[in-house]
């Protein structure tokens, strides 16, 4: 079995992953989540208590942490409404080997984890829960080295900020913070258009920008 330190994790560094879980009713779900390595057998994740991922992890006490460079998986799992019928496609998922959570088929690695501990904490006025996760198994594919484009991290950054914009939009006390987030998203969009024109990244950025405009008009 590969070790966390062999698939890109380092102690104390947040890795951007996709966590997949089942709901209490058995519905598969996935969402981008930042995960931090504590040691070779433990990871932590800070979950907003409003997320479906938090509810699923609380119900089933396990999850799969999927590693991918595929921007579409980040985008469509962050904003479920970008999918046909507003749901992630069932064919994305398959049963994992050792835990009661689905894994995503088209990823580079999947880490099956059990929840060891859940701890409630307050963060900037919202409730979050820190999950300590124990690694049960790791499956990793062997892939060719991938040429790095800034477009990937810029687009992931913009998607992350957009999840915050969506959550804060109706809060009148947060308008300054929202304006700052929108500025960062717009800067990311400009650079993506320059370094990766007509790409999957620029398509995501165009769609994201339109969606944000739509949320603001609905407000």
Under the rule (CB under 6 A), what is the footprint of ligand FMN? 16, 29, 31-34, 45-48, 51-53, 74, 78, 156, 159-160, 163
Q: How far is the CB of 16 from ligand FMN (least distance, A)?
A: 4
Q: How far is CA 96 from CA 36, 101, 102, 214, in A?
A: 22, 6, 5, 37
Q: How far is CA 93 from CA 24, 73, 149, in A?
A: 17, 12, 27
Q: How far apart are CA 73 and CA 133, in angstroms?
A: 22
**Closer of 124 and 142 to ligand FMN (Cβ):** 124
What is the 8-class DSSP label of residue 13?
A: P
Q: How far is the CB of 73 from ligand FMN (least distance, A)?
A: 11
Q: How far is the CB of 94 from ligand FMN (least distance, A)?
A: 18
Convert 15-54 to b/e letters by CB count within 10 Å (16 or more is b): bbbbbbbbeeeeebbbbbbebbbeeeebbbbbbeeebebb
Q: How far is the CB of 108 from ligand FMN (least distance, A)?
A: 16
**Closer of 144 and 164 to ligand FMN (Cβ):** 164
**Closer of 1 and 26 to ligand FMN (Cβ):** 26
Mapped onto helix, strand or coil, the DSSP state of residue 89 is coil
Q: How far apart are CA 49 and CA 58, in angstroms?
A: 10
Q: How far is the CB of 110 from ligand FMN (least distance, A)?
A: 17
**Closer of 41 and 46 to ligand FMN (Cβ):** 46
**Closer of 111 and 159 to ligand FMN (Cβ):** 159
Phi-psi label, residue 85: left if phi above 0, alpha if psi -120 to 50, beta otherwise: left
């Amino acid at each position: 079995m590969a070790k966390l330190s062999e698939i890109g994790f380092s102690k104390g560094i947040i890795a951007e992953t996709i966590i997949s879980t089942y709901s209490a009713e058995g519905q598969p779900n996935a969402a981008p989540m930042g995960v931090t390595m504590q040691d070779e057998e433990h990871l932590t994740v800070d979950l907003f208590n409003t997320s479906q991922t938090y509810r699923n992890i609380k119900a089933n006490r396990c999850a799969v942490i999927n590693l991918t460079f595929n921007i579409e998986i980040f985008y469509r799992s962050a904003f479920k409404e970008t999918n046909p019928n507003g749901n992630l496609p069932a064919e994305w998922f398959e049963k994992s080997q050792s835990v009661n959570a689905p894994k995503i088929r088209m990823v580079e690695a999947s880490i099956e984890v059990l929840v060891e501990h859940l701890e409630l904490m307050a963060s900037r006025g919202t409730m979050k829960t820190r999950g300590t996760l124990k690694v049960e198994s790791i499956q990793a594919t062997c892939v060719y080295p991938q040429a790095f484009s800034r477009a990937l991290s810029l687009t992931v950054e913009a998607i992350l900020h957009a999840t915050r914009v969506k959550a804060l939009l109706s809060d009148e006390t947060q308008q300054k913070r929202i304006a700052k987030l929108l500025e960062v998203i717009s800067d990311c969009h400009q650079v993506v258009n320059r370094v990766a024109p007509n790409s999957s990244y620029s398509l995501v950025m165009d769609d994201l920008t339109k969606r944000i405009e739509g949320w603001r008009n609905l407000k």
